[in-house]
Structure 1
Amino acid sequence: MAANTIRTIGLGLALAMSSAGSVLAEDFPHYAAVTGVAADDVLNLRAEPTASAPVLGTLSPGATGIEITGASADEKWLRLNVDGRTGWAAARFLKDVPMPPWWTEQVPLACSGTEPFWSLRYAPGLFRFEMAGEAAQNLDVEWSGAPQNGKAETVGMKLSGKGTEGFVVFKGGTCSDGMSDALYAIGLDLFLKTPAGRRALTGCCRLD
């Protein structure tokens, strides 16, 4: 069976499962906008999903492009990142911005990791890998696939570039870079064979 056919079957099963529940891992991340907040008011970003938690920051009325990375168990609060910090805002004041799910490979992503510091940016069909002290590399996607068990939160891609080959696996779920207070909704494992040697890297991704 062709790789493209496998990919289609996997995504079809995932879409069917994602429509069956209210909030699933593959629902995050996605963009949202502030709604229902008066022009002279703000939406508070709190340290925990409760109205009594300390305020970490605020969102202005009509603010958009807000990345939602999770939800509380009762779905009344949404987790998001603002200025490098993770906080919680009341779900009733945030509306989804229409966009494809990240795992359809249509959504640009910005990924990074530490020790050593590196970054990987994704635009559909193309990656750009950078690491301190090394020349940046563009990497093409040779093929991609998702499990056929309906787990839309896992996507693998075969990469190739000038003298470089590798594989990346994206996994939906809470991810921490271990260096900041931010929590993300996508983790990745990156394996590369380059002229400089072999690398196995782990990091987190955000919408780009």
Structure 2
Amino acid sequence: MVRTALALTLAVATPALATQEYSLPTLFDVSGVAADDVLNIRADPDAQAPIIGTLAPDAQAIEVIDERGGWARVNAGEGTGWVSMRYLAYRTDVWQEGELPDAFRCLGTEPFWDAKVEGGDLVLRRPDDQAGDRRAVQAVLDTGIFRDPARVVVARDMTLFAQPRICSDGMSDRLFGLSATLVLHGEQPAMLSGCCTIGR
């Protein structure tokens, strides 16, 4: 009777204790592809779909923004395509508490802008200001949920919000896994919208 009760307790508790391995977007490395071969990027999540690009057998830090039936959506040139998850190895070092991935950057159109953290500053660049508007980063906030990609970058007079959501840059056929909102404070407050990427 005790053994049965314990088994029931474990069976009920296990799902609640289970931790999701990863949340998208995140990074993967190509794995299990022969050195003289490539990993095909296909137009649709189907082994018979047209090939629109390839990944090298040793490619690393591939940003996956969506997953469907064993296929991963990745960006390929100015478009997006699908690769088999069988040949991707998940990286556990991407979303660390209170930090941003190394290649994290956000961009938007209408108006054009680009923002990323450089040397402790959140740097906003626009076509007429390539030197950039630099603001000291005060904090990088996360939700506290294990490997949740949502981030808020708090800088002096500037706050960047990044939320997991499929996002288009409006200029290409690429898709991104994070939407961005950049709020400028100060004498002339403004809000810019766009997308963020963690891929190289």
In 2: Cα distance, 1:87 partner to 1:102 partner: 27
User: Residues 63-82 of structure 1 correspond to what in structure 2 (within 5 A)?
Assistant: 63-72=59-68, 74=69, 76-82=70-76
Q: Is the 8 A contact 2:180 2:194 kept in 1?
A: yes
Q: Percent identity?
A: 31
Separation in structure 1 between the aligned mates of residue 51 and residue 166 of structure 2, nearest angstrom:
22
Question: Mapping of 1:125-164 within 5 angstroms?
Answer: 125-134=120-129, 136-147=132-143, 152-160=148-156
Following TM superposition, by how much is the alpha carbon of 1:30 offset from its aligned partner in structure 2, in angstroms?
2.3
Does residue 30 of structure 2 align to residue 34 of structure 1? yes
Contact residue 106 and residue 124 of structure 1 kept, 8 A: no
* Structure 1 contact 166–191 (Cα < 8 Å) conserved: yes
Letter aligned with residue 79 of structure 1: R
Name 1:91's counterpart in structure 2: 85
Q: Which ranges of structure 1 fall in alignment gaps of 5 or more residues?
A: 1-16
What is the root-mean-square deviation of aligned Cα atoms in Å? Answer: 2.7
1:11 aligns with: none
- State whether structure 2 residue 191 is matched by structure 1 residue 200: yes
In structure 2, the CA distance between the partners of 1:97 and 1:28, relative to structure 1 (3 Å rule), is same
1:115 to 110, 113, 132: 110
Matches within 5 A, 1:166-177: 166-177=158-169
Seen in structure 2, the aligned counterparts of structure 1 residues 145 and 96 have a Cα distance that, compared at 3 Å, is closer
**Distance between the aligned counterparts of 2:183 and 2:110, measured in 1?**
15
State the shift of 1:21 in Å.
3.3
Shift of the 80–142 alpha-carbon distance from structure 1 to 2, 3 Å rule, reads: same
**TM-score normalised over the length of structure 2:** 0.78
Contact 2:108–2:194 under 8 Å retained in 1: yes
SS at match of 2:110: coil
Looking at CA atoms only, which structure, 1 or 2, has the larger radius of gyration? 2
Contact 1:32 1:97 in 2 (8 A): yes
Unaligned runs of 5+ in 2: 1-15
Helix, strand or coil for the counterpart of 1:92? helix
Worse overlay, 121-130 or 39-48: 121-130
Could you report, residue by residue, the CA deviation over 1:27-62 in whole angstroms, capped at 9, with x for unpaired residues? 222222222222332211011111122211111222
Aligned residue in 1 for 2:174: 182
In 2, Cα distance between equivalents of 1:102 and 1:180: 30
Residue 113 of structure 1 contacts residue 202 of structure 1 at CA under 8 Å; is this kept in 2?
A: yes
Q: Given the alignment of the two structures, is residue 59 of structure 1 paired with residue 50 of structure 2, yes or no?
A: no
Instruction: Please give the secondary structure, in 1, of the residue aligned with 2:158.
Output: strand
| Count of residue correspondences | 182
State how far apart, in whole Å, the 2-side matches of 1:132 and 1:147 are: 33
Question: Is residue 98–residue 142 contact of structure 2 (8 Å, CA) maintained in 1?
Answer: no
Task: From the superposition, tell whether residues 173 and 125 of structure 1 become closer, same or farther in structure 2 (CA, over 3 Å).
Answer: farther
TM-score of the two chains, using structure 1 as the length reference: 0.75
